[in-house]
Every structure is written in structure tokens, then in C-alpha cells.
């Protein structure tokens, strides 16, 4: 599970909140000073800073008890909000919002094998308000919350029957309407945010034989990228015409941005992921308004770990290469068929290899192997490196004397991408 960290920033400073490996709920400041706020804490929590500068947190401990923690005038106070009779973690996907002196939490609770979307209103003066059930939901799908310019709060979720719904609350968190949304059943993940000028949506959907990351604004739709995992974690931050979209597949966080309100998006770039996503809330220049999004703690221009990048590449490239060398079905391929197979492996590495945008050097050498040999696959008598049967000694040495690991670590400054040479942006 990715550890979810929370960063609350103002114009003067930033505070980072997270659960460490010893199950402590920890606060860390800009000068790296840290303190333990709560022991035996679970990884499910959320927090906000209100317009008065008071910090509010909702966190579940490892016994399933839901606590409300408040920080005001340099004093920490902890309240037992909800206890679990079964002494197990039954709450997930916590989202905390504020309205005046009241707080409203939305979360998913498991009860007798069912998953309920809960609205929980409370205030520091009245912690005994009973939570109310909004709907039964699909636990596998996170829900998203968007505060609209008119002050209303919109919940987007998929219910237990598989229908995607939008439930609208007024500024006092009373339900004003709830409707079924017409969308493709193959919409796997959806994120809706208020950009200040309009409400925009990013989603991961099925498109023919691919999955695609799609941006929607008003009646327009734009595909940002293909070959994205169905279960990729998705996030979006927006303010006026500046839009940032983040998604995570495996160990990598990708990013694409638009500076013109979604008309054009930049080519996806790598983030470096160490702890995973941060849940980010901002206050100061917009008192009382918050944006709760997952972002990465590192700078946009940072690149993924070369070691981790090559490990994932190596795994899938080795699988494809071994298929070619050891499976008899490919022995009678002519040159064009062989090249098509190489191209297919490249596509598979892109698709399975968590969306990377470069193909490693070993595939480049396989393509060169095809070019240097008049009819390479017909020369294979037995799929054994000691009996390849190729007259070209250099090509024999390619497989006899070099492992795939060695080939990947070759000090070349070029990589092959869909048959075209591109500059290698990653340091190996």
C-alpha cells in the first residue's frame, strides 16, 4: 500500500503529516523538526486547516477507532469519535471538509460484508452526531469530491450496483439531489475538480483495444495518453487555466500539464516516487478554500530511479527475447515477420512496462541483428545459444557473451523507440 502523506502549506510555512513504519502519526516542519502526534495510528487519515489557522484531522488507529485531532494555539487535543466493536480497520477513503464551525467527513465503512459511503457531520462542541449512510458503494473504487463555485459539494462515486452517481450537497452539507451519471461502463477511475472557472474531469477509460487517460471540459474531450493501467491512481490540480494531471503506475508517477485551460497538454513526464503520493491542502492566499489532491513531493523535472527503471524494463524485455529464441513457432519467420515481432515486443514493453516512453538498448540490438543477417530466423536450427547456426560471428557473440543485463547497461546514448532513434533522457 502506498503511504499517504499530507502537506498543509500557507504563505509562510509547510507542515508534513504521515504515518511512519512504527505506526506513529508524525508531524514534520520545514526545518525537519518532527514530533509524534499519536501512536498506534493507521494509514487512513485526512486533515484540513481552516480560515482561522486551526488544524483538524480525522485518523483511524489500528484497532479501528476513529479519532478527531485538533491543533489550536499550540495545543493538541484528541477525541474518540467512533469506536469499532470488532477492533479492526473498517474505514477507508477519508475526506474531511469544513463549513463554518462544523466539520464534515466522508468515508467508506465496511459493515457485515457491505461497503457504505458515510457522511459524518460533527463540531468540536458536539462530537456525538450519528453518521448517516449515503449509499452502498463498490469498495474497489475511490470516490472524488469537488467543491463548486456556488459553495455546493459534489460527490462522484460508483455504487454497489455498478452505476456511477453524483450526489450534490448544499453549503451546509445537506443533500439537495442525487442522480445517475451516463458514462461508459469502462470508466475505471474518475477525478473531478473545480478550476475556478469551470468544473473539469479526468478519467481512465477503455477506448477500443486500449485504456486511455481522457480530459473533459464542458462538451470537449481530449486524449492525453494511451497504454495506461486500469488501476492507475489518478489526480488532478487546477486553478484557472493551469491544469496538472498526475497518475501513478507501479513505482512511477507521471505528469502532464496544460497552461491554456485544457486545449493542449504537455507530453507526459516522469516523477520520482520515494514515499508515493502526497495529499496536499493549501491555505493562506485563499482562506477557507482548499484543494485536496495527490501530488509528488519531488520537483517536476526529477527523473525516475535508473535502477528501478531498468529492473522493470529488464523483466519484460527478457520475457520477449526468450520467447523469440526458445519458441519453435518463430523459426520460419522471414525478415519482415521478424521485424513485426520485434515491433510487437516494443509495444508490449510500453504497455506492460508501466507506460515508459523509451525501449532499452537490447531491443535495438535485436533489430540490428535482423538487419545484419539476410534471413535471421531461418538460420536457427535449434534454439540454443551454443548451436545458433548464424554465420555472422558478431551476432553469435551478441547472445553468447552478453546477458540482457549487460546489454541494457551498455554505455550508449541512444535508445530505440518504435523504430526511431531518440535521445536517452535517463542516466544509466
Sequential pLDDT tens for the chain (428 residues): 334 467 776 655 677 788 888 888 888 876 667 889 999 888 888 888 887 888 899 999 988 899 999 988 888 999 988 888 777 888 888 889 887 778 999 999 888 888 999 999 888 777 777 788 999 987 666 678 887 777 788 888 888 887 888 888 988 888 888 877 765 556 777 778 777 667 888 888 877 677 888 888 877 888 888 777 777 778 787 777 888 888 876 666 788 888 888 888 988 887 654 445 555 554 433 332 233 333 433 333 333 332 333 344 444 445 544 544 444 344 455 556 666 666 666 565 554 443 333 344 444 445 455 444 434 333 332 333 333 333 334 333 333 343 334 433 433 333 332 223 333 333 22
How wide is the angle at C-alpha 236 spanned by C-alphas 232 and 239, nearest 5°? 175
For residue 250, is it within any domain? no
Host domain of residue 146: 5-182
C-alpha cell at 96: 474531511
| Cα gap 293→93, rounded to integer Å | 13
For residue 234, is it within any domain? no
Q: Which of 161, 182, 203 is the last residue of a domain?
A: 182
Helix or strand or coil: residue 397?
Answer: helix
For residue 196, is it within any domain? no
For residue 377, is it within any domain? yes
Neighbours of 235 (CB within 10 A): 25
For residue 398, is it within any domain? yes
Q: Are residues 163 and 311 in the same domain?
A: no
For residue 131, is it within any domain? yes
Q: Which of 152, 182, 212 is the last residue of a domain?
A: 182
Q: Are residues 36 and 173 in the same domain?
A: yes
Q: Which of 125, 159, 182 is the last residue of a domain?
A: 182
| Cα gap 282→54, rounded to integer Å | 13
- Which H helix or E strand runs over 277? none
Q: Are residues 31 and 175 in the same domain?
A: yes
CATH at residue 143: 2.120.10.70
* Cross-strand bridge partners of residue 28: 16, 34
| Cα gap 166→159, rounded to integer Å | 10
Count: domains in the chain? 2
For residue 417, is it within any domain? yes
Q: Are residues 173 and 310 in the same domain?
A: no
Residue with cell 534471413: 375
Helix or strand or coil: residue 232?
Answer: coil
Taking alpha carbons only, the member of 242, 343, 333, 327 closest to residue 293 is 242
| Cα gap 314→349, rounded to integer Å | 10
For residue 367, is it within any domain? yes
Amino acid at each position: 500500500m502506498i503511504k499517504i502523506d499530507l502537506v498543509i502549506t500557507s504563505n509562510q510555512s509547510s507542515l508534513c503529516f504521515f504515518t511512519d513504519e512504527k505506526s506513529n502519526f508524525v508531524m514534520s516542519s520545514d526545518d525537519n523538526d518532527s514530533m509524534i502526534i499519536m501512536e498506534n495510528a493507521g494509514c487512513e487519515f485526512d486533515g484540513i486547516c481552516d480560515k482561522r489557522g486551526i488544524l483538524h484531522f480525522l485518523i483511524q488507529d489500528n484497532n479501528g477507532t476513529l479519532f478527531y485531532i485538533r491543533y489550536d494555539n499550540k495545543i493538541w487535543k484528541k477525541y474518540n469519535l467512533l469506536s469499532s466493536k470488532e477492533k479492526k480497520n473498517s474505514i477507508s477513503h477519508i475526506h474531511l471538509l469544513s463549513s463554518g464551525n462544523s466539520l464534515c467527513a466522508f468515508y467508506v465503512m465496511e459493515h457485515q460484508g457491505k461497503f457504505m459511503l458515510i457522511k459524518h457531520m460533527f463540531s468540536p462542541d458536539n462530537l456525538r452526531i450519528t453518521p448517516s449512510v449515503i449509499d452502498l458503494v463498490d469498495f474497489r473504487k475511490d470516490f472524488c469530491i469537488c467543491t463548486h463555485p456556488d459553495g455546493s459539494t459534489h460527490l462522484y462515486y460508483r455504487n454497489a450496483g455498478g452505476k456511477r452517481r453524483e450526489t450534490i450537497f448544499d453549503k451546509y452539507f445537506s443533500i439537495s439531489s442525487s442522480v445517475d451519471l451516463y458514462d461508459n461502463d469502462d470508466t475505471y477511475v474518475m477525478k473531478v475538480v473545480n478550476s475556478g472557472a469551470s468544473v473539469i474531469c479526468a478519467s481512465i477509460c477503455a477506448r477500443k483495444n486500449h485504456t486511455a487517460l481522457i480530459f473533459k471540459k464542458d462538451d470537449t474531450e481530449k486524449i492525453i495518453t494511451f497504454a495506461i493501467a486500469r488501476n492507475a491512481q489518478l489526480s488532478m490540480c487546477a486553478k484557472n487555466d493551469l491544469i496538472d494531471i498526475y497518475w501513478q503506475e507501479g513505482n512511477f508517477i507521471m505528469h502532464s500539464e496544460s497552461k491554456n485551460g485544457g486545449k493542449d497538454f504537455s507530453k507526459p513526464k516522469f516523477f520520482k516516487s520515494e514515499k508515493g503520493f502526497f495529499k496536499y491542502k493549501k491555505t493562506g492566499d485563499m482562506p477557507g478554500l482548499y484543494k485536496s489532491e495527490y501530488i509528488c513531493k519531488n520537483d517536476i523535472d526529477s527523473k525516475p530511479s535508473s535502477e528501478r527503471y531498468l529492473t522493470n524494463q529488464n523483466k519484460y524485455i527478457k520475457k520477449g527475447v526468450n520467447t523469440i529464441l526458445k519458441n519453435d513457432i518463430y523459426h520460419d519467420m522471414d525478415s519482415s515477420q521478424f521485424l513485426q515481432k520485434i515491433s510487437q515486443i516494443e509495444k508490449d514493453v510500453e504497455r506492460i512496462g508501466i507506460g515508459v516512453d523509451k525501449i532499452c538498448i537490447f531491443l535495438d540490438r535485436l533489430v540490428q541483428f535482423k538487419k545484419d543477417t539476410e534471413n535471421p530466423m531461418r538460420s536457427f536450427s535449434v534454439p540454443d545459444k551454443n548451436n545458433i547456426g548464424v554465420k555472422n560471428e558478431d551476432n553469435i557473440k551478441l547472445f553468447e557473451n552478453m546477458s540482457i543485463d549487460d546489454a541494457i547497461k551498455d554505455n550508449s546514448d541512444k535508445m530505440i523507440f518504435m523504430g526511431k532513434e531518440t535521445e536517452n533522457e535517463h542516466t544509466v
